[in-house]
Amino acid sequence: MGGGRGRMQLALAAGGAALLLLLLLARLPPPPPRPLHLHQLYSTDELETVELLVAEPSSLPPSAAPPQPVPASKKTPPAGKKAPPAGKNKPPAGKKNPAAGKKTPPPGKPHVILTKELYVSGHRVAHPELCPRLGAGLALLVLVTSAPAHAAARDAVRLTWGSFAARSDVAIGFVIGEAPPQYREALAREDALYGDVIQGNWVDSYSNLTLKTLSMLEWADTYCPRAPRVLKTDDDMFINIPRLLKFLADPQRANATKTIWGKVLKKAYPKRIPASKYYLSRVQWPGAALPTFATGPAYVLSADCVRPLLRAAPARAYLRLEDVFVTGVLAGALGLRRQHAPEFYNKKVAPHPCAVQRGVAIHMVRYHEQFDLWRKLLDGQTKCS
């Protein structure tokens, strides 16, 4: 009998605790809704535009930052003043509202984004000492676009063809954007050791390659304007610096102005398949064909191209394909010459010593392959006809 009374008391206590827990839960605020992924909010075409604005707020230009709340003083009239009567702000009868008929893109719909809405000028780490006397005395400035995670690729370049930076007529630097937090400490140590990592004021991502190239041009214009030639290349390239210097010293090119040299493509067509690395939506590029352009792995600009390209960029619609945008859209509008040079392979080639020695730029080189190509460049035994 006593055992039955004890079990009943335990059951009543458990029921009371459960009731108390339910009452406490009922008073808690509802959980916040789960955030939607971009693919749940936008179509594939729309993501081309939207993804450009998904960045840390501190890295966005003011025009791309979220709208600020309107101050209370603008929402309600000051004390002592009456609100204007309803209808007072309407246009007089017979006159059209000047705002009527103007279409604004609905929220979430794709629209053209100008480059000035995304690009943030300046460099958080500049290293102007890489270019003494603003480039006077240089034959070539080499700027290598890299990514925060590509430390091994940068080391391989430094130990191979990048060692030509020891020459007084060649300067080499790496250009990256704002790094994710997990890479910042390692980058700081790397830069303290080598002092050659230039950092811009924009988030580093593949869709921001155009911002990276514009930052490279801004650095050249600000800190190295007297360098007569600027090579833009990537950290997965092997560059034959002696061959390039010989190429640029040729009498036909030595005094050339307003010219871009590289692997020039004509009548190329935009990729409309969203899975493609080079995909362009019709919002970004409605044309059936791309303009003539020099492919991005490596191209050389004469110094007088740099500032006009920088000045023309802000008012143009942003394109994520930097080579099409810089050497195609901008260069075409400015009337700059794009000269094809077969020495710029800008592709993966058979690693034969003669191919390495004859070419200027080899693409798709993994960091451990740099050393094999470097050895073949310095090979003095192979006879090349």
Task: Give the pLDDT of residue 283.
Answer: 85
Question: Which has the minimum average pLDDT: 100-104, 170-174, 177-181?
Answer: 100-104
Task: Give the pLDDT of residue 334.
Answer: 98
Residue with structure tokens 């490279």?
216
Query: What is the residue-averaged pLDDT of the chain?
Result: 81
Compare 350 and 16 and report the one with higher pLDDT: 350
What span, in angstroms and rounded, lies between the C-alpha atoms of 383 and 385?
7
Compare 95 and 347 and report the one with higher pLDDT: 347
Res 90 pLDDT > 60: no
Res 251 pLDDT > 60: yes
Compare 54 and 230 and report the one with higher pLDDT: 230
The burial of 167, by beta-carbon neighbours within 10 Å (0-12 exposed, 13-18 middle, 19 or more buried), is given as middle
**How many of the other CB atoms lie within 10 Å of CB of 353?**
18
Res 201 pLDDT > 70: yes
What span, in angstroms and rounded, lies between the C-alpha atoms of 84 and 90?
11
Mean pLDDT across 140-145: 98
What span, in angstroms and rounded, lies between the C-alpha atoms of 128 and 141?
12
pLDDT confidence bin for 67, thresholds 50/70/90: very low
Q: What is the CATH architecture of 115-375? A: Alpha-Beta Complex (3.90)
Task: Give the pLDDT of residue 310.
Answer: 98
Task: Give the pLDDT of residue 13.
Answer: 55
Res 94 pLDDT > 50: no
Mean pLDDT across 321-341: 98
Per domain, the residue ranges of the chain are: 115-375
What span, in angstroms and rounded, lies between the C-alpha atoms of 53 and 50?
6
Res 327 pLDDT > 60: yes
Mean pLDDT across 261-286: 91
